[in-house]
Amino acid sequence: MHFTSEQRLDDGVLERAFTLGEIPGILWTPASASASAPAPLILLGHPPLGLHKMYSRLAERARHATADGFAAATIELPGSGDRPRWAAADQARADLRRAMAAGEPVGDGIVDALVLPLVERAVPEWQAALDALLVLPEVGGPVGYSGGVISIGTRLAVVEPRISAAVLFAGSLVPRAMFEEARRVTIPLHVLLQWDDEGNDRQAALDLFDAFGSREKTLHANMGGHTGVPQFAGDAAARFFTRHLK
Amino acid sequence: MHFTSEQRLDDGVLERAFTLGEIPGILWTPASASASAPAPLILLGHPPLGLHKMYSRLAERARHATADGFAAATIELPGSGDRPRWAAADQARADLRRAMAAGEPVGDGIVDALVLPLVERAVPEWQAALDALLVLPEVGGPVGYSGGVISIGTRLAVVEPRISAAVLFAGSLVPRAMFEEARRVTIPLHVLLQWDDEGNDRQAALDLFDAFGSREKTLHANMGGHTGVPQFAGDAAARFFTRHLK
């Protein structure tokens, strides 16, 4: 892990860009974080649109997390941003766009092709990022995962014991195989659902929530579209992390 | 409205029993409430089991409300507690118990007979209670309604303009007619759903949430049965009232 740039933000938060092998990432640490008082970490998931495009929303979420005393970190997804294109993923996205433009139902084949290889590649990368981040003296456990592609969050919750709690965003297509995987999740979950999300299947989101094996799981459904999560819903997710990671 | 007894609780909260005509009720006011600083009011709804039986849960909710600076009040429902029995309601409850014991589906006829007359009778009584309570110098607006029979809360939200926000508990049978009524609700709503509520139809609860006309409505679904609302879910409902009534 190599830091490639750093800047101190207004509120004393240190924002550092890094690379982990070929993978770019960003780490935010609160002014209070130190070797004697390491900040618990929240991994910021995001959709595969590229870190540049997602930067302002990620920085806003990081600001919220650091204000609550957390470190926050994110990495670029495979095939996104400046990372090498990935022909199969591009093909799957093109198929999805074509189906949606034609008003056709999005078949299982398209969803599987779009999501499952992304999960397979991304999850070990997030775990490698965790290895590197937790070595830093100013960053500590426990670790939370927040947002992004819900299938990545689900797989991480199953395979990565260092993740103690997750805020998941029910806003992406879910392969059928993930419903079985969801039953194996046991960590506390806080699931956000935008009730009127245009590109999302509400019933599938409710079915996935039902499938999660966690004894503590909460669904917060709010009005509005995909990017319209109300401020108070973000605040509630932050309180969930404070309750479980501190 | 006549106060029939009063006691000062440990935290300075004043608990007063009252009668409003033949209807018994209880009012809790925080130590801070006065004519120059009237406390906004939360009406505490409850199921038709009688105030005596519900007292400890109501007192707990009142303690939460008064700690946040609210006054809280409740009244006995028609046909419950020490109020005159009501043959038609008793019959409807017996029909419900018989259907449930036999494992039969609870038909629309039973639900309508059980809930609609209760709504018709109870809502004007809660409005009369509001008239009497808001005359007290230490009690002020805005007013919230919380919990209890969701059809009573829905009707109150439609017909009573003094109610500014409501926390509804998706935990009772809902007549079909109430789904249409729900579309006319416009105040901010915070709906609690116990995902594994034995006596409740989850899909009907989700359909009712969908039907509410409010631009701001939030569904908080949590694990556990009817009476298992977790502490953090109660806290979130309290924050909803603080956000809207203060």
Does residue A147 sit in helix, strand or coil?
strand
User: What is the predicted pLDDT for the residue at B198?
Assistant: 78
CB contact under 8 A, A222 and B218: yes
* A171, pLDDT greater than 80: no
User: Can you say how many angstroms the Cα of residue A13 is from the centroid of all Cα atoms in its chain?
Assistant: 21
Q: What is the distance in angstroms between the Cα of B218 and the nearest Cα belonging to chain A? A: 5
Q: How many CB atoms lie within 10 A of CB A94?
A: 11
* pLDDT per residue as tens digits for the range B110-126: 999 999 999 999 999 99
* B141, pLDDT greater than 90: no
Q: Which CATH superfamily is domain B2-84+122-245 in?
A: Alpha/Beta hydrolase fold, catalytic domain (3.40.50.1820)
Q: How many CB atoms lie within 10 A of CB B165?
A: 22
* B147, pLDDT greater than 90: no
Closest by CA position to A114, among listed A81, A160, A84, A80? A80
Cα–Cα distance, B163 to A233 (Å, whole number)? 23
B3: Cβ–Cβ under 8 A, 6 or more apart, which residues? B16, B17, B18
Cα–Cα distance, B208 to B210 (Å, whole number)? 5
| Residue A148 near residue A169 (C-beta atoms within 8 A) | yes
Chain A CB contacts of B232 under 8 Å are 218, 239-240, 243
CB contact under 8 A, A218 and B233: yes
User: What is the predicted pLDDT for the residue at B228?
Assistant: 87
Sign of CA dihedral B45, B227, B196, B236: positive
B231: Cβ–Cβ under 8 A, 6 or more apart, which residues? none
* B224, pLDDT greater than 80: yes
Q: Which CATH superfamily is domain A2-83+119-245 in?
A: Alpha/Beta hydrolase fold, catalytic domain (3.40.50.1820)
CA atoms within 13 A of residue B86's CA, in its CB half-sphere? 18
Please state the ipTM of this predicted complex: 0.86
Band of residue A200 on the pLDDT scale cut at 50, 70, 90:
confident
B241 at A interface, C-beta within 8 A:
no
* A158, pLDDT greater than 90: yes
* pLDDT per residue as tens digits for the range B22-73: 999 999 999 999 999 999 999 999 999 999 999 999 999 999 999 999 999 9
Cα–Cα distance, B154 to B118 (Å, whole number)? 13
